[in-house]
């Protein structure tokens, strides 16, 4: 799956099309250089799309939950998500109606030390909980943020049954307003 020059090891997850990227830092006694993104190395994940936006977030308080966010077509997006300071439990939820893993979620710890990036395809919701204070996240998006195409799920929805490891310290007012999944929810068509 990787060429000898590829700086990413692609790891499968239990969810259809969701992959984890193990970045391959190159270093010596001075430190290291780590490629965070490369269009040619990640062509299989990116397809014919390009990175349209890069976001950097800081979350100060441990236990904070952000998400679960997604965008609907035509602004559905691929996200490459990395934690560059601290530790988070990163979660992706499959919302694609024809997927064999529809409404399943995957959670993985991302940290400044484990060199992992979660590659989240279009049609997934995304969120995380900070496991330490002062967490910084770096996101590469294949579509720009568009408020009129933004949607979200309630991170505490019992139907999703996400096991957040810490008591929830904070959630934004916006995230608290995201609905639980309705019984007749048919997913996000791409």
Comparing CA positions, the residue from 13, 74, 1, 71 lying closest to residue 42 is 1
Q: Which alpha helices (H) appear in 75-172, and where do they start and end?
A: none
User: What residues are labeled active site?
Assistant: 69, 139
Comparing CA positions, the residue from 41, 114, 54, 106 lying closest to residue 83 is 114
How far is the C-alpha of 13 from the C-alpha of 71, rounded, in Å?
22
How far is the C-alpha of 79 from the C-alpha of 143, rounded, in Å?
9
The CA-atom distances, in angstroms, between 84 and each of 20, 70, 98, 140 are 15, 22, 34, 13
């Amino acid at each position: 799956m990787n060429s000898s020059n590829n700086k990413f090891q692609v790891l499968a997850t239990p969810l259809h099309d969701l992959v984890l990227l193990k970045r391959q830092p190159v270093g010596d006694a001075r430190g290291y250089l780590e490629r965070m993104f490369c269009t040619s190395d990640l062509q299989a994940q990116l397809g014919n799309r390009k990175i349209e936006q890069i976001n950097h977030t800081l979350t100060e308080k441990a236990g904070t939950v952000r998400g679960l966010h997604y965008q609907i077509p035509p602004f559905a997006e691929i996200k490459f998500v990395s934690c560059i300071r601290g530790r988070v439990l990163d979660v992706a939820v499959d919302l694609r109606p024809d997927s064999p893993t529809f409404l399943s979620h995957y959670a993985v710890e991302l940290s400044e030390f484990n060199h992992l990036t979660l590659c989240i395809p279009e049609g997934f919701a995304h969120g995380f909980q900070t496991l330490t204070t002062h967490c910084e996240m770096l996101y590469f998006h294949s579509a720009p943020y568009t408020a009129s195409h933004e949607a979200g799920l309630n991170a505490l929805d019992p139907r999703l049954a996400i096991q957040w490891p810490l008591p929830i310290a904070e959630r934004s007012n916006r995230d608290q307003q995201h609905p639980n999944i309705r019984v007749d929810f048919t997913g996000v068509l791409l």
